[in-house]
Structure 1
Amino acid sequence: MTAASITASILLGLVGAMTVVPQALAQSPVAIGAPLTGEVVLNRDIEVRIGPSEDARIVMTLKQGKALNALGTPRGTYWTEIAIGGQPIGYVPADSLDPALMVTGRPAIGGEGPRPSKPAAGRTADAPLPHRSAAVVPRAAWDKAAQTPAEGYVVAAGPISATEILSNRKRRGFTLRKGDVVALIGAANGEATLALPAGTRAVAPVQGLVGVVAPYPLPGMPPVEPGMLYGIKLGEYVSYSEGLRAWREFTAGPGSAYRDLPPMVWPVFRKGRLLYEVGVAPFTRLQVDTACGTLAQRGLDCTVIELDTF
């Protein structure tokens, strides 16, 4: 799925509440008379005009990717007033703007993905690193695990001894390798029950398993930059079904830019309990600050979390 198709699908949810618009203008993520405000990014090179009209004088040209503030869209027009540094500069077509929440990364140098964090000062490269409660994983690893329906997915933060259940009486020991992504069925008494791609089940200690927030790159989005990545935690729930319901409510409202992405509901093992967190990722440090600011404008709290990368 391309970024353009994601934008188009976002619009479909808005069209039902709109009057009929010309086909040529049906790409805008903004409904007529429903102003887009807050942090935005240009999705193409655009000419800025002094008034909300195609006939208005051009005052400047801005490049794709430019971050701006949207001040509102006059009702009955397709033009949004924009500002730079709080100073209004003119109007651009509403469909040239994407909410900042849609921007999850810029193309990485050489097509690389994120790199694991460097060891902390005083820690050797061979010493085990402390692992975080959430992770992003390569797209190929996610796609393989996601073939098995589950209540979230986990990744092995290091080698973990596990037991595959072949039948009622047969068991086989094996090792989950660092970076292996598997489907989670449940957890109790310090052990996770996993669904393996082969169609069998396995059990493994929860220690060393990290909940997977999302793959990288996200569908239709550019690759994320190398380096430390972050996520936004929006809430915590006692079951996967409750977390999934919260995700759907979020993407039906302020998080509509993520409507077509895999649900970002991931398991967390905390003091013997299995919980589920809901949020959005991955972001760079600058992007996560911008996204939290956008969410704050929409009345939502967010907690920034650090992500493990594999």
Structure 2
Amino acid sequence: MTKWTASDIVDQSGRTFVVTGANSGLGEVAARALAKAGAHVVLACRNTHKGEVVARSIGDNAEVRRLDLSDLASVREFAAGVDSVDVLVNNAGVMAVPQRKTADGFEMQIGTNHLGHFALTGLLLGKITDRVATMSSAAHQAGTIHLDDLNWEHRKYNRWSAYGQSKLANLLFTYELQRRLAAAGSPVTAVAAHPGYASTNLQAHTESVQDKLMAVGNRIFAQSAEMGALPMLFAATAPGVIGGSYIGPDGLFEQRGHPKVVGSNKKSRDEQTAKGLWSLSEDLTGVEYRFG
């Protein structure tokens, strides 16, 4: 059977994609592939200088708009400037950073990876025509949602546990969003993806000796960013992708390979936790979703 690649992306002419974190890494690769397929791509970046460099190299199909997911004021400003979008690609994220807070007082990883994207999706939902694709990670397997201490105010901070919590939140959010969209009879679908072990600059910002260790791992074990972006590109563009799907690599332990539908753990399918996280996320962000 032929393996799906970026060359299999169907014609996206006339369609608009918003890709968060598109100034580097998997987001940049995805933006380039989408633009090559004819889409108009909005590079939603905190670092607009880097974004402009990427956009100029892509050409007329790309534009840059500032978005800082760790600042809800920036999220609201960005969303207000978007008229219509076919596909929202929630790609940006931080990984295993030291303990610090967002502009709104959230723990940085849950604040950026989940709450920022939760707010962005809610603010754009009435303008989205096709689907919401959100990047999770195999690290969701190590995550636990603490609804009574989502922002690590009462526990000793652990950077990797915080990352796992944020990636588990991405899946709980995706599955709950799909349930709510389906219940409302919406044509919009929600899907998720993970890149396996892909070599990107995400592994270079832990501000610890782990940066050097992961740099070695990137050179020896990781697949390319081009391969790592394929599950998200498939989730965002492939016709017939079922809402609530989770797409990852087809290789051993889902670490590398071409896109396929994969499974996620029991915690990610806990509907009570998903509802609790949804309610808490609306309270924390002040963004209330409206369906129908």
Q: TM-score, normalised by structure 2?
A: 0.28
Hey, which of these two has a bigger chunk of helix by percent? 2
Hey, which of these two has a bigger chunk of strand by percent? 1
Instruction: Answer with 1 or 2: which has the greater Rg.
Output: 1
Q: TM-score, normalised by structure 1?
A: 0.26
